Amino acid sequence: MSDEDVKAETDSKPDADAETKAKAKAKAEPKPEPEPQAKPDAEAETKPEVKPIKPAIIRCQGIGRTFWRGKERLDVLEDLDLEIAEGSFEALMGPSGSGKTTLLNLIAGLDRPSKGRLDVAGRNIGEMSDAALAKWRSQTIGFVFQHFNLIPVLTALENVQLPLLLTKVPSSERKQRAQTALRVVGLEDRMHHRPQQLSGGQEQRVGIARAIVHDPKIIVADEPTGELDRQSADEVLTLLERLNREFGKTILMVTHDPAAAERATVLRKLDKGRLL
């Protein structure tokens, strides 16, 4: 543990530098990311403070999710209604077993509701086949995990390219896009490092780069700061804020950490499968 702390601390300074540089670059470059988010990007920059009222990108209508453990019935979510507007940054808090991860999994299309209707980015999740869901996820959702979940044998650049392997994007462009994403998270000088050569904070930023490389509308983050020290956690949260504000990503974050929840624009609390 202490090793990692030292590493994170020594790394933090150049990182901060890199981040400001990345910011500068992102502004200087006319096309930091492929077209689709160019528009919200521009919008975000012109009117950063005032949030326009946008249609809900996520709509839960009376959804429930039931699990069976043998003969025992577990209603993790019950009759839940929720609307999340496009471009918002929401945090979901709640004690263990409150169903927040289940809700996140449903919204991310990893799971289907047992009842009710769930629309995400214009699609009815409950009606999609496994294959259709997988394809939809690969285009619409970016995942950020608590344990980073990078592939240890791949370099940062290769890890970030992973979601693009499912697309028909040619390899030279895959590489270019991954580089851009790593630049956004301020790791352009760590592209050829393997996960074990990175600090926890850096690993999570690679994870974020992987979550945005295919330009998803929605980013879901399950305890993104759970494994990080305070300073790295702050950097990651700042990055998420930026993705929300500058790139217009809708972000849904599950967290235990009040400091993290504070950074979100909306805070929701879940207990025993119901929103409070």
Partner 1 sequence: MTLVGLSIKNVSRNRLRAVLTVFGVAIALLAFVFIRTTLDAWTGGAEHAAQDRLGTMHKVTFTMDLPRTYFDELDGTRGSVPGVKAATYQSWFGAKHPVREQEFFATIAVDTDTFFQVYEDMEVPAEQLAAWKEDRQGAIIGEALAKQFGWSVGDDVTLVGTIYPGDWKFTIEGIYTAKRRAVDKSQFLFHWKYLNESMKEQAPARAERIGWMTTLIEGSARGAEVAQAIDARFEERDIQTRTMSERALNMEFLGSFGAILTALDVVSGVILVIMMLILGNTIAMSVRERTNEYGVLLALGFRPKHIALFVMGEGIAVGLLGGLVGLALAYPFINGMGRWIEDNMGSFFPYFQIPPHVAITSLALAMLLAGLAAVIPAYRASRLDVIDALRRIG
Pick 20 or 149: Cβ nearer partner 1? 149
Window of 52-60, 72-80, 164-172, 253-261 that interacts with partner 1 by CB under 8 A: 164-172
Pick 134 or 259: Cβ nearer partner 1? 134
Closest CB 254 distance from partner 1, rounded Å:
13
For residues 188-227, which are near partner 1 according to CB under 8 A? Answer: 210
- Of 79, 38, 102, 12, the residue nearest 275 (C-alpha): 79
233, two tokens = 């956690």
170: exposed, middle or buried (Cβ count in 10 Å: 0-12, 13-18, 19+): exposed
Window of 37-45, 154-162, 234-242, 247-255 that interacts with partner 1 by CB under 8 A: 154-162
Which residue in the set 6, 42, 134, 259 belongs to the binding site for partner 1 (CB under 8 A)?
134
Closest CB 50 distance from partner 1, rounded Å:
34
Which residue in the set 6, 42, 74, 151 belongs to the binding site for partner 1 (CB under 8 A)?
151
Closest CB 2 distance from partner 1, rounded Å:
22
Instruction: For residue 167, give Cα distances in angstroms to 144, 161, 212.
Output: 20, 10, 14
Residue 149 binds to partner 1 (criterion: CB under 8 A): yes
How many chain residues are in contact with partner 1, going by CB under 8 A? Answer: 28
Between CA 100 and CA 109 the distance in angstroms is: 14
Q: By the criterion CB under 8 A, which residues form the site for partner 1? A: 105, 108, 110-111, 131, 134-139, 143, 145, 147, 149, 151-154, 158, 161-163, 165-166, 171, 174, 210
